[in-house]
Copies of this chain bind each other. A is one copy, B any other.
Amino acid sequence: MAATSTDTGDRPLHPVARELAASTGFLLARLGVAFRGTAVVAVDDAGFEIHDYPVLAILGEADRETQATIADAIGLDPSRLVALLDSLERRDLVVRARDPHDRRRHVVRITAAGRVELGRLRALAGRIEEAFFEPLADGERAALHELLVRLAERHDPRCCPLDDPDC
């Protein structure tokens, strides 16, 4: 098996080209997949699915969400969201109900059990974040976050709620 990014001291790592390492966008992309990778294994180890948190979090903040709005927010195809909500519903973390005003729509709500699970996921996410950004001091983390928010305003505005004080 090839060495992974979490290996420690077995040093025959073959580096990328220096001109690529000098590219901020390249680093951004590589670190993005690195973060997602650690999150996926941590979430999986804890018995969750990777998309549980984004969905439950959105329902925790604004219930009465419809499936199309959830899919749009988390960048998931509506057809994929179906199986995801099926899974959450089987675990009694969300409920789907027909919208009486437009019976084509499903209104999705988080349940009490869903809020408990959301709390666990939030704590887990905090631990993942803490471990990943451990090399940076608090001030540096804040500076990084602010720079990323500035980029997100341009390139991924769904990550910048208009009433978010960070934006």
| Residues of A near any B CB (own CB < 8 A) | 2-3, 5-6, 13-36, 38-39, 53-54, 57-58, 60-61, 69-75, 77-78, 122, 125, 128-129, 132-136, 140-141, 143-145, 147-162, 164, 166-167
CB distance from A107 to the nearest CB of B (A): 15
Could you show 20 A-B contacts with beta carbons less than 8 Å apart? A2-B72, A5-B158, A14-B72, A16-B161, A21-B167, A22-B166, A23-B129, A24-B148, A27-B149, A28-B35, A29-B35, A31-B32, A31-B155, A32-B35, A32-B36, A34-B156, A35-B155, A132-B155, A140-B147, A144-B147
Contacts of A133 in B (CB 8 A): 24-25, 151
The verdict on A150 contacting B135 (CB below 8 Å), with A19-B61, A24-B144, A159-B27 known, is: yes
Contacts of A70 in B (CB 8 A): 14
Q: Which of A6, A17, A18 has the most CB of B within 10 A?
A: A17
Cβ-closest chain B residue relative to A53: B20
Count the copies. Answer: 2
Partner of A164, one of B18, B38, B73, B150: B18
CB distance from A6 to the nearest CB of B (A): 8
Cβ-closest chain B residue relative to A35: B25
